[in-house]
C-alpha cells in the first residue's frame, strides 16, 4: 500500500527509519520530527495520549507559573511607550509611517545590567542579517551563547520550565536540556543555497533580511536599541495586548534600514528568559501549531515552526521561528 512520505496515514507506530522524511512513532514528539498530521491520525495511540502528554490545560497552568516567575521583567516605571497610530488590517501593508515619534519614549537602561539582559544583548551583534551569507561563528561567540544559557538557567523561570519538561519525560537532566536548547536555538542551518546562514535565535531575536523584507525580529530590546541608534523607524501598530503591566504584547509595523516588516509581534518589557522559555515550551509541546497559553488571566497564543530541511541529533528539528499571534 502506498503511503505519502510526509503523512502518518497508515503509518502510526511504524519503527524509526532515518530514510523517512518525518515520523509517526511514539518517540516522534520527543524528537520533534512527527509528520504534520501525526496528531490527526495517531494521537490516541501515540506518545501524546500517555501520561507524558502535555495537555492544553497543563499549558495554561505552566504558562501562568512562568509569568509569575518572571522576576526580571520591567516594572511599569521602567518603560514608557508611545504607540500612536493604530493601523487597520488593510493598512499594515502600506509601508506608510503614520507615527512621527519613536515607539519608545523611555527605557530604564539599568535593566540591561541584569545578568540575563547583559548576556542576551551580547548575542545580538553576532549575526549577519542577510540570509544567504554564511555565519562565521567565533570561539568568543560560542562562549557568549554558553554564558547566556548559564545565566537564564539560574532563573526561577527556567528552572520551573525544566522541572515541568523533566516531569513530562522530555529530558533526563538539566545538562541534557541545556545541550538541547543550544542546538535547537543556536544550531546553524541554511535559509539560502546551502550556506549556514541562519538559526532560530538569530531569526526570532536578532532579525534577518530575506528577499528585501525583514524576517523574524520579534524582540523589544533589539527594537529599542536599534531605534535609539536611528536604524529602526516605527510606523504604526495593529494590536495592543490587554495587559496593563509588563510583559505586554504589541503587533507593529516598522522599517529597519529601509527594509519593511508588515506585522512584527513582540512582547514588551519581558525579560529575555521569559520569551526564551515561553517559545521553548511551545516549540516542544506544540511544534508547528498554535500553542494556547494564559498570562495574568488573559489568553495568548504562540506560533512556532520547525525547520524541515535539516536536523540534528536523532532527527531532532531546529526552531525556524516563534512569535506571539497578534
What are 80's strand-pairing partners?
106
What pLDDT, on a 0 to 100 scale, did the predictor assign at position 49? Answer: 45
Contact between 274 and 247 (Cβ < 8 Å): yes
When pLDDT is averaged across residues 180-208 and rounded to a whole number, the result is 95
What pLDDT, on a 0 to 100 scale, did the predictor assign at position 308? Answer: 87
* pLDDT(45) > 80: no
Q: Is 228 a catalytic residue?
A: no
String of DSSP letters for 170-219: S-SSHHHHHHHHIIIII--B-SSSS---B-HHIIIII-EEETTEEE---B
When pLDDT is averaged across residues 209-220 and rounded to a whole number, the result is 96
C-alpha distances out from residue 271 to 3, 67, 244, Å: 46, 10, 17
Residue 51 lies in a domain: no
**Same-domain status, 38 and 171:** no
* Distance, CA of 323 to CA of 321 (rounded, Å): 7
Q: For Cα atoms 272, 275, 279, give the angle at the middle one, nearest 5 degrees.
A: 140
C-alpha distances out from residue 116 to 7, 21, 57, 265, Å: 41, 37, 29, 22
pLDDT-derived band at 20 (thresholds 50, 70, 90) equals confident
User: Residue 2 is part of a domain; what is its CATH number?
Assistant: 4.10.410.20
**Same-domain status, 134 and 97:** yes
Q: Which domain holds residue 242?
A: 56-325
Q: Is 160 a catalytic residue?
A: no
Residue 12 lies in a domain: yes
pLDDT-derived band at 44 (thresholds 50, 70, 90) equals low
Residue closest to 191 by CA, chosen among 219, 216, 227, 167: 216
* Distance, CA of 26 to CA of 59 (rounded, Å): 20
* Distance, CA of 301 to CA of 110 (rounded, Å): 30
What pLDDT, on a 0 to 100 scale, did the predictor assign at position 46? Answer: 40
Count of the separate structural domains present in the chain: 2
User: Pick the catalytic residue: 168, 218, 237, 317?
Assistant: 218
User: Pick the catalytic residue: 23, 73, 168, 203?
Assistant: 203
Q: Is 167 a catalytic residue?
A: no
When pLDDT is averaged across residues 38-49 and rounded to a whole number, the result is 62
Contact between 64 and 295 (Cβ < 8 Å): yes
* Distance, CA of 113 to CA of 88 (rounded, Å): 37
Between 288 and 88, residue with greater pLDDT: 88
What pLDDT, on a 0 to 100 scale, did the predictor assign at position 126? Answer: 94
* pLDDT(48) > 70: no
**Same-domain status, 128 and 102:** yes
3-state DSSP call for residue 266?
strand
**Same-domain status, 12 and 111:** no
Q: What's the predicted TM-score (pTM) here?
A: 0.88
Residue 50 lies in a domain: no
* pLDDT(316) > 60: yes
Q: Which residues of 275-305 are buried (b: 16+ CB within 10 A; e: fewer)?
A: bbbbbbbbbbbbbbeebbbebeeeebebbbb
Cell of 228: 535609539
* Window from 38-47, 160-169, 177-186 with minimum mean pLDDT: 38-47
pLDDT-derived band at 257 (thresholds 50, 70, 90) equals very high
User: Pick the catalytic residue: 23, 73, 237, 261?
Assistant: 261
pLDDT-derived band at 32 (thresholds 50, 70, 90) equals confident
**Same-domain status, 188 and 249:** yes
pLDDT-derived band at 2 (thresholds 50, 70, 90) equals low
For 312, the enclosing helix (H) or strand (E) is strand 298-312
* Distance, CA of 196 to CA of 133 (rounded, Å): 8
φ, ψ dihedrals at 37, nearest 5°: -95, 15
pLDDT > 90: percent of the chain: 79
What pLDDT, on a 0 to 100 scale, did the predictor assign at position 193? Answer: 81
* Window from 30-34, 62-66, 231-235, 245-249 with minimum mean pLDDT: 30-34
**Same-domain status, 97 and 121:** yes
Q: At what angle do helices 272-285 and 115-123 cross, to 10 degrees?
A: 70
pLDDT-derived band at 3 (thresholds 50, 70, 90) equals low
Contact between 236 and 99 (Cβ < 8 Å): yes
What pLDDT, on a 0 to 100 scale, did the predictor assign at position 143? Answer: 98
Q: Given CA atoms 306, 310, 313, 319 in this order, what sign does their dihedral have?
A: negative
**Same-domain status, 12 and 143:** no
pLDDT > 70: percent of the chain: 96
* Distance, CA of 17 to CA of 2 (rounded, Å): 17
* pLDDT(140) > 90: yes
* Window from 45-59, 141-155, 237-251, 274-288 with minimum mean pLDDT: 45-59
Contact between 190 and 135 (Cβ < 8 Å): no
Amino acid at each position: 500500500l502506498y503511503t505519502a512520505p510526509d503523512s502518518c496515514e497508515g503509518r502510526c507506530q511504524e519503527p524509526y527509519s532515518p530514510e523517512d522524511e518525518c515520523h509517526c512513532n511514539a518517540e516522534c514528539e520527543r524528537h520533534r520530527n512527527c509528520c504534520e498530521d501525526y496528531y490527526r491520525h495517531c494521537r490516541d495511540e501515540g506518545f501524546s495520549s500517555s501520561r507524558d502528554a502535555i495537555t492544553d490545560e497543563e499549558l495554561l497552568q505552566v504558562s501562568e507559573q512562568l509569568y509569575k516567575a518572571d522576576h526580571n521583567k520591567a516594572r511599569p516605571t521602567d518603560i514608557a511607550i508611545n504607540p500612536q497610530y493604530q493601523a487597520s488590517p488593510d493598512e499594515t501593508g502600506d509601508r506608510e509611517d503614520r507615527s512621527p515619534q519613536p515607539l519608545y519614549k523611555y527605557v530604564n537602561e539599568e535593566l540591561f545590567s541584569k545578568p540575563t539582559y547583559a548576556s542576551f544583548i551580547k548575542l545580538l551583534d553576532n549575526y549577519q542579517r542577510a540570509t544567504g551569507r554564511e555565519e562565521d561563528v567565533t570561539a568568543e561567540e560560542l562562549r557568549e551563547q554558553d554564558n547566556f544559557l548559564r545565566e537564564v538557567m539560574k532563573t526561577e523561570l527556567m528552572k520551573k520550565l525544566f522541572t515541568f519538561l523533566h516531569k513530562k519525560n522530555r529530558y533526563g537532566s538539566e545538562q541534557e536540556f541545556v545541550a538541547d536548547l543550544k542546538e535547537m536555538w543556536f544550531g546553524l542551518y541554511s535559509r539560502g543555497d546551502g550556506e549556514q546562514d541562519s538559526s532560530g535565535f538569530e531569526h526570532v531575536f536578532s532579525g534577518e533580511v530575506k528577499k528585501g523584507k525583514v524576517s523574524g525580529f520579534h524582540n523589544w530590546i533589539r527594537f529599542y536599541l536599534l531605534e535609539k541608534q536611528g536604524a529602526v523607524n516605527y510606523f504604526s501598530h495593529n494590536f495592543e495586548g490587554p495587559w496593563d503591566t509588563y510583559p505586554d504584547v504589541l503587533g507593529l509595523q516598522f522599517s529597519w534600514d529601509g527594509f519593511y516588516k508588515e506585522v512584527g509581534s513582540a512582547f514588551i518589557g519581558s525579560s529575555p528568559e521569559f520569551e526564551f522559555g515561553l517559545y521553548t515550551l511551545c516549540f516542544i509541546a506544540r511544534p508547528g501549531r498554535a500553542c494556547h497559553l494564559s498570562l495574568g488571566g488573559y489568553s495568548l497564543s504562540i506560533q512556532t515552526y520547525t525547520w524541515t530541511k535539516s536536523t540534528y541529533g536523532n532527527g531532532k528539528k531546529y526552531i525556524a521561528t516563534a512569535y506571539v499571534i497578534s
